Structure formats: C-alpha cells, structure tokens
C-alpha cells in the first residue's frame, strides 16, 4: 500500500480545494485531527463563512489560532472572507490617500465601490489572507491545513511577480527620467533623488511583488494540494478543470478525495428506496472509475455521505478513511 497512496511528503502546508459544498472543511478537519493525533503540531485554517470548523469541534474560533479542546497539538482559526475583503479595500483606500490627490481619491473610491462586489475581489482578498497566515502564523506548526485552495484567477495571481517586475522597472525608468529633467531645472536641490527612493507607489508595488514571490515559492516547494469532489458529473468536470489549472502553474495535485458518496442499502433490502440507492451507487461507481482511469492524481479517499454531522467519533472515522500520510 505504501507505494500506492499519496502522501503530503512532509510539506508544511496542505490545501484541500474544491467547489463550495463538496465538504472541504470536514475533510480538512479530519486530516488535521489525524495529523495532531499522530504527533504533529497542527493548525487548521478555515475560510468557510458558515463557520463549520466551529461546528465540527463544537467550539467557537476566531481569526487567531486557538487550541482545540480535547485534541492535543491541534489549533484552529477561522478567516472571514467578507471581513478580509473589507480590510483589503480599506487598506487600498488608506495607501491611496497617501499617494494621490483628494480629487483622485474620490474618483478611485467610486471605482473601488464598483469592483468591491466582483468575484475577483473576494478571491483576491482570500488569497491575501491565507498567504498572510503562511507568513505570520505558521512558525510554531509542523502542519498548516487550509480548507480551501487557490483556483482559476487566483492561481493566475502567482504569475504576477514577473508582470509586476516589468512594470516596476518601467515605472522606475520613467520616474528617473522626470527627476533628471527636474534636476536640470533646479540644480543643487537634493529633494528629487529622495523622492525616487521613498516613492510610495513603487514601494507598494515592490511589496506586492515580494508578497507574490513568497506565495509562489512556498506553494511550489512546501505545499501539498488535494482536491475534494462529489460524485456528480458537474463536480467531476470541475475537478478536471482545476487539475489543469494547477498543472498550468507547475503545481501538482497530490490526490483526489471523493466525498458524499451514496451508501449502499443492505443486501436484503428491496423496494423503491433500495432501487433508487442502488442505481445511484452504480452511477457513482462508474464516475469514480472514470476519475481513477482518466485523472492523473490518485483517488486517496472515498467517504460516504452521512446524515449526522461529522464530529467526534465520526471525525475519527473519516480521518481513518483518508489514505494520506499525516
């Protein structure tokens, strides 16, 4: 079995991605629980606005790591994406107000208000929030488990450093030119050179470039990605798409987690309900074969749908069914 199963290979950061509702938080909590039980100091970070980590452990968490009652070595925190987005906008506003005139600020505010509700803004704020956790909160932990993973346009942000690099170089060149002109007009004034060094726009761009460089490097060298999906066609198709997006960014998906599989009825059950379940189980089995044969990352877990909430003993059950090294 050892050669077959996927492992997180000791990476510090483990991401469980997938569409909303597939059960990323449950799987993340189960995995984090198992890591902690195996002796790794573990932090589970949730970005689920429904606070399901609090539900799983029956304990309220906030935006700072807090230890989980009854599970040694496990901490949890919840990031509220709406809060993060607001903070993100406020930061942009603040840093702008230092850089441009008051008239420009009101114009830009209007633009920001319009962009606020776009899906891109939400994803971008979320990405910032979890890169922040990676930079500032991860130090005491062997494992940091996220119940989300970047996809689509967010993954594309990892290409930003290069783009920003060009832009910064060009901006620096233009600034230099205008400062040279300025100096020719006012010889002996040391002010312009100082302006170049402390330029807040360029400073901000440099910061962002470093931020995305850190994110890209860490995700390539010290992170493992798993994708959670449900056995319906839409979820399978989305998983195919996500695998492609990761591959395009040189990030490898380590394994796939099939969640919410329909349970089989007992062998002696007949009747309408049993027939319905058997047909459903059959269809899902076909779909899983399709995933096993057609997709590159291995299927590392098949977790049955439960009518009760996943917590306590059930969490240990789910954890045991994950064929992923803690």
Query: Does 54 interact with a second copy (rule: CB under 8 A)?
Result: no
Q: Which is closer to a second copy, CB of 191 or CB of 269?
A: 269
Site track 212-231 with a second copy (rule: CB under 8 A), x = hit: --------------------
Site track 175-204 with a second copy (rule: CB under 8 A), x = hit: ------------------------------
Which part of the chain contacts a second copy (CB under 8 A), choosing from 3-11, 112-120, 174-182, 199-207?
112-120
Query: Does 235 interact with a second copy (rule: CB under 8 A)?
Result: yes
Among 188, 198, 271, 294, binds a second copy (CB under 8 A): 271
Q: Which is closer to a second copy, CB of 7 or CB of 283?
A: 283
Chain centroid, CA 98 distance in Å: 31
Residue 138 CB, shortest distance to a second copy, in Å, is 29
- Cα dihedral 41→47→50→55 (10° resolution): 0
Among 101, 106, 173, 272, binds a second copy (CB under 8 A): 272
Identify which of 210, 208, 195 has the alpha carbon closest to the alpha carbon of residue 99: 195
As to burial, measured by CB atoms within 10 angstroms (0-12 exposed, 13-18 middle, 19+ buried), residue 168 is middle
Alpha helices in the chain (DSSP H): 24-37, 52-57, 81-97, 102-116, 119-136, 152-156, 160-185, 191-197, 200-221, 233-248, 271-294, 313-321
Is residue 148 within 8 A of residue 13, CB to CB? The reply is no
Among 273, 289, 292, 320, binds a second copy (CB under 8 A): 273
Is residue 121 within 8 A of residue 157, CB to CB? The reply is no
Each residue of 224-249: b (16+ CB within 10 Å) or e?
A: bbbbbbbbeeebbebbbebbebbeeb
Q: Tell me which residue has tokens 């956790």.
A: 133
How many chain residues interact with a second copy (CB under 8 A)? 36
Which part of the chain contacts a second copy (CB under 8 A), choosing from 3-11, 24-32, 130-138, 275-283?
275-283
Query: Does 107 interact with a second copy (rule: CB under 8 A)?
Result: no
Q: Which is closer to a second copy, CB of 36 or CB of 251?
A: 251
14 DSSP β-pair partners: 145, 224
Give 109's Cβ-side CA count (13 Å radius).
11
DSSP character at residue 50: T
What count of residues does the chain have? 326
Query: Does 279 interact with a second copy (rule: CB under 8 A)?
Result: yes
Residue 188 CB, shortest distance to a second copy, in Å, is 36
Among 1, 3, 9, 20, binds a second copy (CB under 8 A): 20
Site track 59-88 with a second copy (rule: CB under 8 A), x = hit: ------------------------------
* Residue ranges binding a second copy (CB under 8 A): 20-21, 50, 114, 117-120, 123, 152-153, 156, 163, 232-235, 237, 263-266, 268-274, 276-277, 279-280, 283, 305, 307
């Amino acid at each position: 079995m050892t050669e077959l199963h996927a492992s997180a290979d000791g990476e510090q950061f483990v991401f469980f991605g997938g569409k909303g509702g597939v059960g990323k938080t449950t799987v993340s909590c189960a995995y984090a629980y198992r890591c902690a039980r195996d002796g790794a100091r573990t932090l589970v970070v949730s970005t689920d606005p429904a606070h399901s980590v609090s539900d799983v452990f029956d304990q309220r968490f906030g935006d700072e790591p807090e230890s989980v009652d009854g599970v040694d070595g496990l901490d949890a925190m919840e990031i509220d994406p709406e809060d993060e987005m607001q903070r993100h906008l406020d930061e942009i506003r603040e840093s702008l107000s230092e850089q441009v005139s008051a008239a420009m600020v009101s114009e830009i505010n209007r633009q920001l208000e319009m962009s606020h509700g776009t899906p891109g803004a939400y994803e971008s704020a979320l990405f910032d929030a979890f890169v922040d956790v990676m930079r500032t909160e991860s130090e005491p932990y062997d494992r940091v488990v996220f119940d989300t993973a970047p996809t689509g346009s967010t993954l594309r942000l990892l290409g930003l450093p290069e783009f920003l690099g060009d832009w910064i170089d060009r901006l620096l060149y233009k600034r230099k030119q205008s400062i040279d002109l300025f100096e020719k007009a006012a010889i002996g004034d040391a002010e312009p050179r100082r302006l170049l060094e402390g330029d807040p726009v360029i400073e901000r761009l440099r910061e962002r470039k470093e931020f995305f460089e850190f994110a890209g490097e860490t995700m390539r060298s010290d992170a493992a990605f798993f994708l959670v999906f449900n056995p319906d066609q839409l979820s399978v198709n989305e998983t195919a798409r996500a695998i492609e997006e990761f591959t395009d960014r040189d990030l490898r998906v380590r394994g796939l987690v099939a969640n919410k599989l329909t349970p089989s009825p007992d062998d002696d059950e007949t009747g309408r309900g049993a027939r319905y379940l058997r047909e459903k189980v059959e269809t899902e089995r076909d779909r899983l074969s399709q995933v096993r044969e057609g997709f590159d990352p291995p299927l590392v877990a098949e977790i049955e749908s439960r009518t009760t909430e996943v917590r306590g003993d059930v969490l240990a059950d789910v954890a045991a069914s994950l064929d992923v090294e803690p």
